[in-house]
Structure 1
Amino acid sequence: MRIENAVMGRKGILQKIFLGSLVVHLLVIAVAAGYNKGLKIWPMPVSVSHGRGTLYLRNDLELRIDGRMYSDASGIFKDGFFRFLEILKGDHVFQTNISSFNSSLIIKAIHVVIVSPSDELQHGVDESYKLSVPMLGDPSYAYIEAKTVYGALHALETFSQVCYFNHSSRVIEIRQAPWIIFDEPRFSYRGLLIDTSRHFLPVPVIKKVIDSMTFAKLNVLHWHIVDEESFPLEIPSYPKLWNGAYSSSERYSMAQAAEIVRYAQRRGIHVLAEIDAPGHAKSWGIGYPSLWPSINCTQPLDVSNDFTFKVIDGILSDISKIFKYRFVHLGGDEVNTSCWTSTPHVSNWLKEQGLNGDEAYRYFVLKAQEIALSYGYKIVNWEETFVNFGSKLSRETVIHHWLRGGVVQQAVAAGFQCIVSNQESWYLDNVGTTWKTFYANEPLFNIRKPQQKALVMGGEVCMWGERVDGSDIEQTIWPRAAAAAERLWTPYDKVAKDTTEVTERLAHFRCLLNQRGVAAAPLTGWGRAAPMEPGSCYKQ
């Protein structure tokens, strides 16, 4: 394998790509229509044209990057290319001499044009790409054009899915060539939540989840870091907080958190940190008991104590140095204010402020929002905050829907952005929910006005941690998360209206995950079900 910077100028490269694409287009037009039924790409791209030919990938495939526009100084794309090669080659034994093959049918290199010189990853980054694999040319190249390096990484993933190792000839084949694929995501936010409070997930497990997300083109890891059960994250400003961890070995240092963010970013994945408050926060008081209303009534956090908000400020100050995604998740769900009204010193404070329990809940959420805004974050809150005091929220709030029907429609009508995670369809811990339900869930259900549709950022599948840890998280996530991933990536008019149309293709993707070392469960049965009987992976 060899990596080169292309010496050809942008104009020359684009002319060559255009001519190659034109040849591909003419060849594709020449073949009969109707071959898309045999496609095995997941998620389905925006536009796919292909033919009937077969090409062969050279073992020492070269990477040629046009250095005039994007230099890849950080090595993000080169690293992605190495991962691409590792996926393709696996543990196969290859034919060392392919000189017997027609040289014009051998793909010798991937030629890459990335327009933006920046590899900054922020919300809404352009993830589009064009992948061209022509049949003619000596030497033969595959071509990738993308606005950003992150679109180019998606192109590599798609390319990997049109390559097959032939065990008879012991070479990698590109079937159904030539190819022209244009692709871009339907939604800018395509998320997966993991929960490290209910069960601790070691860093290698989290990294493996991140890797698996790239295969389905998910782009946000929502890290629900802490909850009432445990507080595993180091907070230097308040070092006793992680006394609330299950044990001293079930903790994340700030360096480990930074490594997770870095690892994800280099794969085009944002990390959304969630610090849920004022409910779901019992673990905070293990190190700082004054955060509790009382020793016998431990949550929500004490709204009457200025120290509570100093701790929140310290947490957000510390995590803002590491978590650079535009958003932070402040939770705000399932708040029962009875601890406030029944604890004498808190109750007295409420009377002095002229607040009842619900009004104090609003006070807490808005004050936490102010702190987050001061660190440059936009805020995500669970839907209860909107249901309880909608228009009082900061206009920088994104409403995270999970519970009640109609909330998304109400929130976008009020001008708020939304993320969809309705629990009956996209909660992975509901193992009785099949992949077909995940696939059928439509984020824009009953939203008709274009300006309101634009406020739906996308959606997220949620892997709550009560019944998963490192031993079973992969088969609980996959392949059901992939079903949602296609709904979030593929245009509405390209998504199958009948799940029987995609069963074979999703089964193929599930087997592909297994081949890549991801413990994805069979499609048959419920989430994380075992195979029912002996048989081919593709029939399970």
Structure 2
Amino acid sequence: MALALRLLLAFLAIGSCIAADHIDLWPMPKSVSHGTQRLYVSNNATMSMAGSKYSDGKAILKDAFQRMLDLMKLNHNADGANPSSSLLTGVNIVVLSTQDELGFEVDESYNLTVPTIGEPLHAQIEAQTVFGALHALQTFSQLCHFEFTSRLIGLNSAPWMISDAPRFPYRGLLIDTSRHYLPLAIIKGVIDAMTYSKLNVLHWHIVDEQSFPIEIPSYPNLWNGSYSYSERYTMSDAIDIVRYAEKRGVNVLAEIDVPGHARSWGVGYPSLWPSDSCREPLDVSNNFTFKVIDGILSDFSKVFKFKFVHLGGDEVNTSCWTATPHIKEWLNNNHMNVSDAYRYFVLRAQKIAISHGYEVINWEETFNNFGDKLDRKTVVHNWLGGDVAPKVVAAGLRCIVSNQDKWYLDHLDATWEGFYLNEPLKGINNTEQQRLVIGGEVCMWGEQIDASDIEQTIWPRAAAAAERLWSPLEQIAEDTRSATSRLSRFRCLLNQRGVAAAPLAGDGRTAPYEPGPCVRQ
């Protein structure tokens, strides 16, 4: 479709949707109703926790509430005089669980009510866990806007009654710090933007063949494989990222991709290479290889507390194994061919991870080659074929969907409409098997991005997938035109919040088409 025609259709869709309703929330809640009254949020709005069992000892809600106020003001000076009526004095948050440990399948549901009567008048949030309450605050922030005439935060279409919960427990975004280094501030900015669209897993593809930027105390020479002395992460940096994410309801999934994609490991420990002239995959015949993996995962277990670790296992070219005399001899002595050795390596790495308390995620090649041999708790990460997820769940294993033709952000010809329409349960009709699809993930591979362009490459296309993963299937429009206005406004909201989200029209990372208002881009 020509760009000019797509812009016209998008603008028409925006106009028709605004005329029909005023629900501009993203992602769309499970259940939402509203009225027609305008309210204002007090300049001195406060958070209360009357009736809550949760004490907020870590200040998770306190900090989130202040962030929400700052987001609603959008750096404007909200110095207007508070009106004598129709004034929301704050938000009362009731959290029913005392626990605040973020984990997989934590209850993220919430109820949000914004009334028009009451004294004092305040919004009410009820959630089973603090993490559901965080999502409710994000939704509340989208109901509000800075009003230039009154210099106050306005809230239209009250009263609001919203009941919400995610469709999938795993809603991920992959970042790649091995192809280009990403500064800590950029990673934290990605995490912040994830929370706006309710994504909850940051998949940190930390190392690869090009660089090994993270400190491993057990094997300190590994980060000799970094690009430079300044392009590294200390273990303290990793702890900081994990804590920053957890306070925002985001898990951090760490990945080391073995046995392929690991050439950088040998810069610090050359014996990990099959030979100096043939440097990957890692030497399967060398016990030191598995001692290093054990050391890495031991150190990871002290930092990355998410129940899963990602061990890769994709794109393994075994030619170095047969071309290296001592490995070829080892294969012969153990009556293995290279396919056997590939399976041996993956399964041995899985056992090491399990010994450190992890459950394992592997890329789909491991399933395609020896799925019946994988640990039964393995989560298979689909990225190649659209028909793989049905096969995985039919075999009784869990699956994460990231099919590259739809959910790879580095594919700049992939439009937001394709991200939005990609259904993780396609071809899976059995209810029990559907439950084995734990969610999906959009992947921002780093070959063509760095700190200068990562945000506009991720957003708003990742947000399109986020609604697919959060909202009930019946809320997902099969005709993307009906979603265009909401996503366009959400993209503009991201821009206002300091996120360099690209225009909707055109392909990924496109430039604005012409002068005009944000929602028309």
> The TM-score by the shorter chain falls in which range?
over 0.9
The correspondence of residues 121-136 of structure 1 with structure 2, limited to 5 A, is: 121-136=102-117
Name the CA distance, whole Å, in 1 between partners of 2:294 and 2:44.
Answer: 52
Aligned-pair CA distance for 1:97: 2.2
1:77 and 2:58 equivalent? no
The corresponding residue for 1:93 is 77
Match among 38, 41, 63 for residue 22 of structure 2 = 38
1:303 and 2:284 equivalent? yes
Match among 110, 116, 119 for residue 138 of structure 1 = 119
8 Å Cα contact 2:52/2:93 also seen in 1: no
The corresponding residue for 1:245 is 226
8 Å Cα contact 2:52/2:95 also seen in 1: no
The corresponding residue for 2:346 is 365
Name the CA distance, whole Å, in 1 between partners of 2:77 and 2:287.
Answer: 65
> With CA pairs under 8 Å and 6+ residues apart, which has the higher RCO, 1 or 2?
2
Match among 158, 179, 185 for residue 198 of structure 1 = 179
8 Å Cα contact 1:66/1:114 also seen in 2: no
Gaps of 5+ in 1: 1-33
Match among 91, 97, 106 for residue 110 of structure 1 = 91
Instruction: State the number of aligned residues.
Output: 504
Name the CA distance, whole Å, in 2 between partners of 1:96 and 1:358.
Answer: 70
1:51 and 2:32 equivalent? no
Aligned-pair CA distance for 1:396: 1.4
8 Å Cα contact 1:244/1:284 also seen in 2: yes
Match among 134, 141, 144 for residue 153 of structure 1 = 134
Gaps of 5+ in 2: 1-17
Match among 158, 161, 164 for residue 183 of structure 1 = 164
Name the CA distance, whole Å, in 1 between partners of 2:75 and 2:320.
Answer: 58
Secondary structure of 2:293's counterpart equals helix
1:379 and 2:369 equivalent? no
Secondary structure of 1:448's counterpart equals coil
Match among 493, 497, 502 for residue 516 of structure 1 = 497
**TM-score, normalised on structure 1?**
0.92
Aligned-pair CA distance for 1:35: 8.3
8 Å Cα contact 2:459/2:502 also seen in 1: yes
Match among 431, 434, 442 for residue 461 of structure 1 = 442
**TM-score, normalised on structure 2?**
0.96
Secondary structure of 2:346's counterpart equals helix
Aligned-pair CA distance for 1:94: 2.5
Name the CA distance, whole Å, in 2 between partners of 1:527 and 1:91.
Answer: 28
Identity %: 62
After superposition, give the CA deviation of every residue in 1:181-228 in whole Å (9 maximum; x if it has no partner): 000000000000000000000000000000000000000000000000
After superposition, give the CA deviation of every residue in 1:241-288 in whole Å (9 maximum; x if it has no partner): 000000010000000001000000000000000000000000000000
Name the CA distance, whole Å, in 1 between partners of 2:205 and 2:108.
Answer: 25
Secondary structure of 2:42's counterpart equals strand
1:212 and 2:193 equivalent? yes
1:444 and 2:425 equivalent? yes
The corresponding residue for 2:326 is 345
8 Å Cα contact 2:146/2:152 also seen in 1: yes
Name the CA distance, whole Å, in 2 between partners of 1:401 and 1:158.
Answer: 31
The corresponding residue for 2:240 is 259
After superposition, give the CA deviation of every residue in 1:66-109 in whole Å (9 maximum; x if it has no partner): 365100011001010010011012222224422xx342x11012
CA gap of 1:212–1:325, structure 2 versus 1, over 3 A, is: same
8 Å Cα contact 2:215/2:232 also seen in 1: yes
Name the CA distance, whole Å, in 1 between partners of 2:363 and 2:81.
Answer: 58
Name the CA distance, whole Å, in 1 between partners of 2:205 and 2:257.
Answer: 8
Aligned-pair CA distance for 1:519: 0.1
8 Å Cα contact 1:401/1:419 also seen in 2: yes
Paired amino acid for 1:264: A
After superposition, give the CA deviation of every residue in 1:37-77 in whole Å (9 maximum; x if it has no partner): 32110000000010111111100001101365100011001
Match among 304, 316, 341 for residue 297 of structure 2 = 316
Match among 216, 222, 225 for residue 203 of structure 2 = 222
Match among 90, 95, 100 for residue 119 of structure 1 = 100
Match among 26, 43, 64 for residue 48 of structure 2 = 64
Name the CA distance, whole Å, in 2 between partners of 1:245 and 1:62.
Answer: 46
Paired amino acid for 1:265: E
Name the CA distance, whole Å, in 1 between partners of 2:108 and 2:379.
Answer: 22
Match among 260, 269, 272 for residue 288 of structure 1 = 269
Aligned CA RMSD, in angstroms, stands at: 1.0
